[in-house]
Amino acid sequence: MFTVSLYVITGILLLISFSRDRSKTKTAMLKAWRSFEGILPQLLSIFIIIGLMLAVLSPAAITSLIGTESGWLGMLIASVIGSITLIPGFVAFPLAAALLSAGAGFKQIAVFVSTLMMVGVITLPLEIKYFGWKAAAVRNLLAYGFSFVVAIVIGWILT
């Protein structure tokens, strides 16, 4: 649904752009392609790594790792899995809900969800390409630490 509206908006903007300036629109499309092709090698590598990782760390495996452990150790395990895996939201949230019913605590789930979104070890090479290694490393480390803050607040309010 959201993807459809994204296409509609992009289509309309492209038409407006085209009616106002053909050559500029052509340049825009060329740039779109070039910047896509520019990161394609990294993207393809990321997809293979995602495949390998999730084939080993299946939802069932993640559940057994996070679902049983509690306390700080559970949070630590959850944060490491969240940082190294890259799961789209529409898979991650049902998984998180399943973890919750499997007996994992809110804190563990929250740190998992938060690191999953904010910390990207697999995408680090891509991030470094645009931000340099220092900014990328600092942002990811801060996001990792912050995920525990989020988890503690959520655990405190929801339990």
Q: Report CA-CA distances (Å) from 73 to 3, 65, 137.
A: 38, 11, 24
100 binds another protein (CB under 8 A): yes
Asked if 131 touches another protein (CB under 8 A), the answer is yes
- # binding residues, another protein (CB under 8 A): 76
Q: Is 103 in the site for another protein (CB under 8 A)?
A: no
Nearer of residues 7 and 72 to another protein, judged by Cβ: 7
Nearest to 147 by CA among 121, 123, 112: 112
Least Å distance, CB 26 to another protein, is 9
Cα–Cα distance between 103 and 63 in angstroms, integer? 9
Main-chain phi, psi angles of 123, to 5 degrees: -90, 5
**Residue 8 or 73: which CB sits closer to another protein?**
8
- Mark 111-130 with x for binding to another protein (rule: CB under 8 A) and - for no binding: --xx--xx-x--x--xx-xx
According to CB under 8 A, which residues from 47 to 76 bind another protein?
47-52, 54-56, 58
Q: At what angle do helices 59-68 and 89-101 cross, to 10 degrees?
A: 40
